[in-house]
Structure 1
Amino acid sequence: MGVNSVSTDTSSDLNEQIEQLMQCKPLSEQQVRMLCEKAKEILMGESNVQPVKSPVTICGDIHGQFHDLAELFRIGGKCPDTNYLFMGDYVDRGYYSVETVTLLVALKVRYPQRITILRGNHESRQITQVYGFYDECLRKYGNANVWKIFTDLFDYFPLTALVESEIFCLHGGLSPSIENLDNIRNFDRVQEVPHEGPMCDLLWSDPDDRCGWGISPRGAGYTFGQDISEQFNHTNNLKLIARAHQLVMDGFNWAHEQKVVTIFSAPNYCYRCGNMASVLEVDDCRGHTFIQFEPAPRRGEPDDIKCVELRALSAGVTAWQYGIARKASTPITLLSCEDSTLRKGIVVFLVTRGSRFDPILAQYCCQHRKELVAQVVKSMCPCKSLEV
């Protein structure tokens, strides 16, 4: 039996698991282990540039916002009735990363030809230890086994997809080390996301209004201008680059004279940004339609930022770790914290590493650079000479 075939008994088990997950109820550790073993077999047979046929619905970041993922399926159609292509960042920040990524993997195993799941920069061991998925696995399973199972599986996720040889889909953006799609096909992708190099760039880079290549404020990947995207599309006979990775308030945003589009599928991102979400439907005739949607009703999630802060602190999170994670708060709220040790850790993080991981942090750090550096100096931190 091939990797794309599912036995009757397995189908029945998977159907039950998918039904359970759709109720936002996590699977057992053993079920997750077996599911990911099956998924690994399927993903090993997929390319770094995975071909996808239309019709297909292309989706951006989800970030553990499970109820919004359920809303996406309600609006866009259930899998397998609708073909889906997800462009990464299934975990971190939201409260239900475990249920979100497990559901998508279960759908991949059940309907391998109907759903494609790409790797985002958050499908990484290092990033998930910082932004919440690791802590969520500890909280829900009592150990890190499920986190390890999933992060091992992430290494096998395809890096990019190609819809009808025309629409190039990936999480982040282009790389100065990549001229054509064959360069990507030749990668050994089964590894942790590197800190630099072409594989890193595909997951971290962003389009920019300025021409050429630029230094990314994230600290990883590059910014690339319209001249770069036009040349890449021309070289590879592409009509469009579809990517995720950036919060856009309308759920989608055109760039580079409609040569590049950003799609973001997590409405009211981090439960506070107030943005719409969207998906891109590509029909049989390769026509494009954006469907926007608002947040689904939230159930049982902490609404009060202070509640989340106290929960994080009571769990023994250090000032440095919490400063990085930020949990469900904002930089300005954190900087007003009365705990001087915690505040110092936050300030040090913002100055030294804040712009690397998050576009919201990057913008904040640029706007408040002098204030942040001054607070580091005032606190007599060891990195007081650094600037953002």
Structure 2
Amino acid sequence: MPTTPPPIPPSGATPADDMFGSLDASLSSVSEASLQASLIDIQRRAPAPRDPRNDESYDKLIRRLLNFHPTSTADLALKLDEIYFVVDFVRDELMRTNAALVEMKPPVMICGDTHVASNELFHCHQFTIIIDQFPGQYSDLIRLLDYCGWPPDRRYLFLGDYVDRGPFSIETVCLVFLLRLRYPNDFFILRGNHETSMINRVYGFYEENKRRYGSSTGMRLWARFQLAFDCLPIAALVDRRIFCMHGGLSPELQSFDQIRTLVLPFMIPNQCCLVTDLLWSDPFPGIYGYIKSNRGVSYLFGEDVVHKFCKDHGVDLVVRAHQVVQQGYEFFADRKLVTVFSAPNYCGEFNNSAGMIFIAENLKCSILELRPDKRRPSIV
């Protein structure tokens, strides 16, 4: 499955010039406190996972996902017990490492949001890819990874948002989880704001679980996923110089030790806090300091915040996702911050490119801009 990766950046990439109990059927109406209590109860009663399987078994499930060619949204790639196996083992692995802050060495390929609202194929240069929701032609994902390099030949960091806004979120997140299990030193995943129960119960993932696995079983499966999501790391540091997260900076972040010492699992509260900000905040031009976000959660922050943060913490670059940007990447604060968004033609509406950032061993950055084509086969 892995192949020798090509040099970075590939033909067509845009290089940067410089370094930059049970849950009832009316779940949607219950309070967040009641929901979290139900999740805790399910975690206490969840059966212990089976003995670990070897790498060949992981590869078998990965191959099945990558060769999944559904003809309708009712098609299933994995059996229910296989999904439980994946979710339980990734949860246990994340709890074992208990790392809210992932600290890694370059080189690494950084990818932003990876969910889309429709099943679309995109033809980028010499290969066809599905960057994000991975529906339908999973062979296109293989081509992408063959082109950029499979782990362990290429190291990856994904910045969150693996579910919602598409009919095959279960396959997407299971594939991401399996790659994390199979390549623990070369495939890293962070938590996005959609990996929270209050969001993915509204934006599609909860309904997908019920639709595809039945109401009662689907609710329990959805709840099982939340237990794994609560164990996902919140941020990453690349060589102590590049700070990565899904959302943005926080007025409460004074030291990286605040993230290092977070105990997982961590349930995201509704009100502002350090973790909420790291998953939700956004940069905004023309303002000074922090102001309340128009999202209704967390903050917007100005260029001055980025400059001060980088100076105070010895950081050269902040990499985040969370917002659609037309070229797949967008700089802010004199290239001290970059937004990367890896979902091409997001929701079938924006005609945006997908972006990925490659961090070389010397911390030089190359930006890969993958442009969508207008051909959009879909699955009903």
CA distance in 1, matches of 2:146, 2:297: 35
Output aligned runs, 1:53-132, within 5 Å.
Answer: 53-63=105-115, 67-69=130-132, 70=141, 72-132=144-204
The aligned residue for residue 30 of structure 1 is 81
What is the Cα deviation at residue 72 of structure 1?
Answer: 4.6
Q: Within 2, Cα distance between the matches of 1:293 and 1:146?
A: 34
CA distance in 1, matches of 2:77, 2:105: 31
Report what 1:258 is aligned to: 335
Distance in 2, matches of 1:252 and 1:236, equals 24
Q: Judging changes above 3 Å, is the alpha-carbon distance between structure 1 residues 72 and 249 closer, same or farther for their aligned structure 2 residues?
A: farther
Aligned: 1:193 with 2:268: yes
AA at the equivalent of 1:82: R
Report the secondary structure of 2:172's partner residue: helix
Correspondences of 1:1-388 after superposition (within 5 Å): 10-24=54-68, 26-44=77-95, 45-63=97-115, 67-69=130-132, 70=141, 72-142=144-214, 143-196=218-271, 197-209=273-285, 210-295=287-372, 298-302=376-380
Question: Which whole-Å deviations, capped at 9, do the CAs of 1:197-217 have from their partners, x for residues lacking one?
Answer: 111111000011112111100
User: How many corresponding residue pairs?
Assistant: 296
* In structure 2, C-alpha distance between the alignment counterparts of 1:140 and 1:36, rounded to whole Å: 17
Contact 2:328/2:341 (<8 A) preserved: yes
Shift, 1:299, TM fit: 4.8
Please list the CA deviations of residues 258-305 of structure 1 after superposition, one character each: whole Å capped at 9, or x if unmatched: 111000000000122110001000112211001111348655424xxx
1:203 partner letter: L
* Aligned counterparts of 1:92 and 1:72: Cα–Cα separation in 2: 22
Query: What's the TM-score, normalizing by structure 2?
Result: 0.74
Q: What letter matches 1:206 in structure 2? A: D
Q: Is the 8 A contact 1:229 1:259 kept in 2?
A: yes
* Partner deviation per Cα, 1:40-96 (whole Å, 9 max, x = no partner): 222120422110111100000011578324265344222222110000001111232
In 2 relative to 1, CA 11–75 (structure 1 residues): closer, same or farther, beyond 3 Å?
A: same
User: 1:148: how far off?
Assistant: 1.5
Query: Identity percentage over the alignment?
Result: 38
What is the aligned partner in structure 2 of residue 328 from structure 1? none
- TM (norm. structure 1) is 0.72
Could you tell me whether the CA contact under 8 Å between 1:175 and 1:201 is conserved in 2?
A: yes
Query: What is the rounded CA distance, in whole Å, between the counterparts of 1:261 and 1:95 in structure 2?
Result: 29
SS at match of 1:20: helix
Larger Rg: 1
Corresponding position of 1:334:
none
The 8 Å contact of residues 91 and 227 in structure 2, kept in 1 or not, is answered as: no
Match of 1:306 in 2: none
Q: CA deviation at 1:153?
A: 0.2
Distance across 2 between alignment mates of 1:116 and 1:128:
21
Q: Which runs of 5+ in 1 are unaligned?
A: 1-5, 303-388
Structure 1 pair 96/284, CA: closer, same or farther in 2 (3 Å)? same
| Secondary structure, aligned partner of 1:130 | coil
State the Cα distance separating 1:110 from its structure 2 match: 0.7
- The structural deviation recorded for 1:257 is 0.5
Partner deviation per Cα, 1:223-269 (whole Å, 9 max, x = no partner): 11111111111121110000000000000000011111000000000
Letter in 1 for 2:157: L
Q: Partners of 2:208 and 2:376 in 1: how far apart?
A: 18
* Equivalent residues of 1:137, 1:146 under 8 A apart: yes
Q: Quick check: which one's helix share is greater?
A: 1
Q: How far apart, CA to CA, are the structure 1 residues paired with 2:376 and 2:201?
A: 25
Q: Deviations over 1:88-128 (max 9, x none)?
A: 00111123211111100000011111111000000011111
Distance 1:189-1:216 versus aligned 2 partners, 3 A rule: farther
Structure 2 vs 1, CA of residues 171 and 205 (structure 1 numbering), >3 Å: closer, same or farther?
same
Q: 2:344 corresponds to which letter in structure 1? A: P
In 1, Cα distance between equivalents of 2:176 and 2:168: 12
After superposition, give the CA deviation of every residue in 1:115-150 in whole Å (9 maximum; x if it has no partner): 110000000111111101111111222222321221
